[in-house]
Amino acid sequence: MNISVVIPLYNEVESIGELSQWISRVMQENKFSYEIIIVDDGSNDGSWPLIKQLSAENANIKGLRFQRNYGKSAGLSQGFRYAQGDVVITMDADLQDSPDEIPALYHKIMDEGFDLVSGWKKKRYDPFIKRLTSKFFNRATRSVTRIKLHDFNCGLKAYKNDVVKSVEVYGEMHRYIPVMAKWAGYTKIGEQIVKHYPRKYGVTKFGLERFVNGFLDLLSVSFISRFGKRPMHFFGLWGTILFFVGFVIAAYLAYEKLFNEVYKMTERPLFYLGLVAMIVGSQLFLAGFIGELISRSSANKNDYLIAESAGLNPNKN
């Protein structure tokens, strides 16, 4: 199969039919073999009955419904799990992403050898404050991750199938799939300017809090990417350094008292600095040790309660 299109959605009943027809037309015009995997993230507006109807009418359309709302990352994670295409395309369901971009994204993966290609909404039809904060967010992400993408949060992306099977998307980490892919060893990451449309139906599901959460997630993914499987390398290192500094201070104060007869050590700020350094250093070292134990025995983060599926084998790994 050439292409799997993964579409996570929440309360987008007005756009599902139009979007699926648009995708199917593009696929047929370009003679791609394909599947459309629509993941209903606990919608309550009638999206799921329509997805089941579309799946019954078109064998290329497959659906998955969560029992409740888990978030976009959960939808992408489960869509990636079932995707069988050589290239996996992700896009939003609000018709702001154009399926006409799919052939170009596909060829950048298959013909130009990219592992991942991210869309770049160079001209955006969003409110000014959203464009401004997004620009600031993308600049910060580029600085921290050293990945030269202009639009990390663009929903329209293309991946090699191997990439989506190798990254673990959970929480709100969907913004940072390129970062996780890079740390998984997939370093050929490119971008493609894509057309962005004004929202045709409904309202956005993301508020201003997404930008605060985005920066917190950036710190998390940067740390996890580097030290998630080896927390002792971070906590143990800094714990050892702090403990050593505290020990040196304590040794110096002990020398002063024993050999130079300097008294009232507990009234000196240096005494408390050394004491705090040794305590904090010990705690950091223990945190790294406990983190190592947890990382080696942690359960799968992507266990979501799936209520129904349409056209998919729920037992497929």
Q: Are 140 and 171 in contact (CB under 8 A)?
A: no
Q: How far is it, in rounded angstroms, from Cα 280 to Cα 111?
A: 53
Residue among 161, 84, 146 nearest 116 (CA): 161
Q: How far is it, in rounded angstroms, from Cα 62 to Cα 60?
A: 6
Tally the residues of the chain: 317
Mean pLDDT computed over 69-81: 92
Q: How confident is the model at residue 310 (pLDDT cuts 50, 70, 90)?
A: confident
Q: How many helices (H) and strands (E) are present in the chain, helices listed first?
A: 10, 8
Condensed to tens digits (0 to 9), the pLDDT of residues 104-148 reads 999 999 999 999 999 998 887 776 777 777 788 788 888 878 888
**What pLDDT is recorded for position 24?**
96
Res 47 pLDDT > 90: yes
Condensed to tens digits (0 to 9), the pLDDT of residues 80-98 reads 999 999 999 999 999 999 9
Condensed to tens digits (0 to 9), the pLDDT of residues 153-191 reads 899 999 999 999 988 887 777 888 998 898 888 999 999
The 8-class DSSP code of residue 299 comes to P
